[in-house]
Amino acid sequence: MADENISAESEQKQLDDIFTQRKAKAEELRAAGIAPYGVFVDNIIPTTEARAKYVPDAENTEVVTVAGRIMTFRVMGKATFLHIKDQHGSLQLYAQRDVLGEEEYKRFKRLDPGDLIAATGHMFVTKTGEVTLKMQSYTMLSKSLRPLPEKFHGLTDMEQRYRQRYLDLIMNDESRSLFFKRIRIIREIRSFLESRGFLEVETPMLQYIPGGAAATPFKTHYNALDCDMYMRIAPELYLKRLLVGGFEKVYELNRNFRNEGIDRRHNPEFTMIEIYQAYGNCETMMELIESMVTSIAQKVFGTLRIKLPGDKVINLERPWRRAPYRDLVRERTGRQDWFELPREEKYKLAKELGAQVMPDWTDLEITHEIYEKLIEHTLIQPTFVTRLPAELVPLAKKCADDPESVDVYELEINGQEISPGYSELNDPIDQRKRFMEQVTLSGKDPAQAVDEDFLTALEYGMPPAGGMGIGVDRLVMLLTGTESIRDIVLFPQLKPRN
């Protein structure tokens, strides 16, 4: 431990010395009348565009300007080779003393990896065949006071990558690529829904009564109104108000907040999309998400076969499997009469199967524990689990042929829920009854748990509708073959260092 402390202290002293040296370089620039943090440079083009301008066996006299961060810097006497990186890629630059001039070249050689510069010149190809910008001039844009992580090993410490995502994006091309894919996926979601006639809307993130899901909210206080408010756990009840108001196809790509656990599949602040279609139903939503996900996979990745770690392959080709909830439970327990068994026998059999059930749990709690712990993780290929128990989904319509089940799906892929979808409940009397049943079970004050304004809206008449939610973070994880949500969230929640 003592050796580790000495090593850490030595490393910190070295970093402090570099910081001091680079700060002095910044002051030298100021003293020479050069702004170390830049001036506006016009007509900058991406490095990829600059590289494409090189034409073999031509004069290549066109002057271009590129900008980026210096990643490597190799001084060879009267000439210097360096690589800069921008959002699009990297490009080699070639600087000569005879072109820049004695004083400017001397100043140029004092640049450091990490500095941001703009460079102007024309394209040529080196003897090694690398397309390069031969510099005529350069402009200092930003002096980097801290050194980048060691170039050969990059940034490998996962916690540092999450805490200092900017360094992760600078050093790790695979991270940059992953987030570019996330951006494309979200862009394609919007494009697909727009092509289907859906309108993107925005609803409140601060709510007096958090509704639309069973989750613990984050609480705050609204000083101007002198009342407690909650960060939303779902936008559902406000989107349904819009159906009442005559908006027939709406969606919201939203941020939700749930004051619950953090693990590789959960972040307390997360992105999801909720979609509602008047005169649709659960079947409408299943067709919609099948079409959407396959369209996104084909456009972004060019395939419907998604490769996951461990040589696992998810086949997104349609149609996707549909399996009633009760059938899955009967199959897993080996009892066709499972739902007719006394609670005590269900408890005993669940224990024998390895489910972590408690003696005072209800029939439903025992059954759903079996589903969540013993069945869900086995659903690897796309599966719509349908006809769930009515008590689990208080905002969905009951099945016409079975009042104990609701007309819903849970889309499971790779052992996790990607999307729930419903035939939405639009009966205000039934909705009030189910809200009150929830209140009774939870022991909450009805005034704090039942959204009376939403019920009032339903009493004006909401059209029959289909609705669904999609966990965008989980969808991105699935399509990119990523195992942790922290790898596809730019700034995941972490405990403060101190």
pLDDT digits (tens, 9 = 90+) for 152-199: 455 778 888 999 999 999 999 999 999 999 999 999 999 999 999 999
pLDDT tens profile 437-481: 888 877 677 776 789 999 999 999 999 999 999 999 999 999 999
The residues, ordered by sequence, that sit 6+ positions from 187 with a Cβ below 8 Å of its Cβ are none
Residue 340 is classified by DSSP as G
How far, in Å, CA of 111 to CA of 314, rounded? 48
- Helices 343-353 and 325-333: crossing angle in degrees, nearest 10, is 70
Q: Domains plus CATH for the chain?
A: 22-148 (2.40.50.140), 171-320+381-487 (3.30.930.10)
**Which band of pLDDT confidence, cut at 50, 70 and 90, is reported for residue 424?**
very high
Model confidence at 5: pLDDT above 70: no
Percent of the chain with pLDDT over 70: 97
DSSP one-letter code for 268? S
Three-state secondary-structure class, residue 482:
coil
Q: Which one-letter amino acid corresponds to residue 173?
A: D
Q: What is the DSSP string of 362-385?
A: -HHHHHHHHIIIIIGGG--S-EEE
Residue 55, token pair as written in the block:
């034409």
Of residues 266 and 240, which shows the higher confidence score? 240
Q: Is the pLDDT of residue 351 over 90?
A: yes
Report pLDDT for 215: 87
Quick: pLDDT tens for 293-322. Answer: 999 999 999 999 999 988 899 999 999 999
For the chain, give the number of residues. Answer: 498
Please state, in angstroms and rounded to a whole number, the distance separating the CA atoms of residues 274 and 454: 17
pLDDT of residue 292: 98
Cross-strand bridge partners of residue 413: 416
* Whole-number Å distance between alpha carbons of 185 and 482: 14
8 Å CB contact between 70 and 117: yes
The CA distance from 417 to 413, in Å, is: 7
CB-count exposure of residue 295 (10 Å: 0-12, 13-18, 19+): middle
CB-count exposure of residue 323 (10 Å: 0-12, 13-18, 19+): middle
Q: What is the pLDDT of residue 151?
A: 56
Q: Supply the Cα-derived Rg of the chain in whole angstroms.
A: 29
Burial class of residue 102 in the structure, from the number of CB atoms within 10 Å of its CB (0-12 exposed, 13-18 middle, 19+ buried) = exposed
Give the pLDDT of residue 213: 83
**Predicted confidence (pLDDT) per residue in 67-121, tens digit:** 999 999 999 999 999 999 999 999 999 999 999 999 999 999 999 999 999 999 9
Say whether the peptide bond before residue 496 is cis (omega within 30 degrees of 0).
no
Q: Please say if the pLDDT value at position 397 is more than 80.
A: yes
| pLDDT reported for residue 4 | 59
- Name the phi and psi angles at 276, rounded to 5: -135, 135
CA distance 327 to 25: 71
Nearest to 409 by CA among 329, 467, 333: 467
Q: Please report, as a single letter, which amino acid is at residue 488.
A: I
Which stretches of 214-342 are DSSP H helices?
Answer: 236-244, 282-301, 325-333
pLDDT at residue 245 is higher than 60: yes
Mean pLDDT of the chain: 94
Q: Is 33 left (phi over 0), alpha (psi -120 to 50) or beta?
A: left
Opening angle at CA 295, ends 294 and 298, nearest 5: 85
Mean pLDDT computed over 345-363 = 95
Confidence grade of residue 36 (pLDDT, cut at 50, 70, 90)? very high
Task: Kindly tell me the sign of the dihedral angle through the C-alpha atoms of 228, 233, 237, 238.
Answer: positive
Tell me if 108 sits within 8 A of 81, measured CB to CB: no
Residue whose C-alpha is closest to residue 417's, from 374, 492, 478, 359 = 478
**For the chain, percent of residues with pLDDT exceeding 90:** 85
Alpha-carbon distances of 302 from 294, 309, 403, rounded to whole Å:
10, 19, 43
Q: Which residue reads 């700060």 in tokens? A: 23
pLDDT computed for residue 261 by the predictor:
86
Is residue 139 within 8 A of residue 101, CB to CB? The reply is no
Q: Enumerate the β-bridge partners of residue 134.
A: 94, 122
- With 0-12 / 13-18 / 19 or more C-beta atoms within 10 angstroms meaning exposed / middle / buried, residue 45 is middle
pLDDT score, position 51: 96
pLDDT of residue 152: 46
pLDDT for 445 equals 73
Average pLDDT for 269-290 = 97
Residue 1 binned pLDDT confidence (cut-offs 50, 70, 90): low
Q: Is residue 126 a contact partner of residue 92, using CB atoms and an 8 Å limit? A: yes
Q: What is the pLDDT of residue 7?
A: 75
Point out the least confidently predicted range of 9-13, 16-20, 65-69, 268-272: 9-13
Q: What is the DSSP letter of 69?
A: E
The predicted pLDDT at position 222 comes to 93
Q: From CA 147, how far away is CA 15, in angstroms rounded?
A: 8
Give the pLDDT confidence score for residue 192 in this predicted structure: 98
- Split at pLDDT 50, 70, 90, the class of 2 is low
Structure tokens at 284: 């409408």
| Mean local confidence (pLDDT), 267-280 | 96
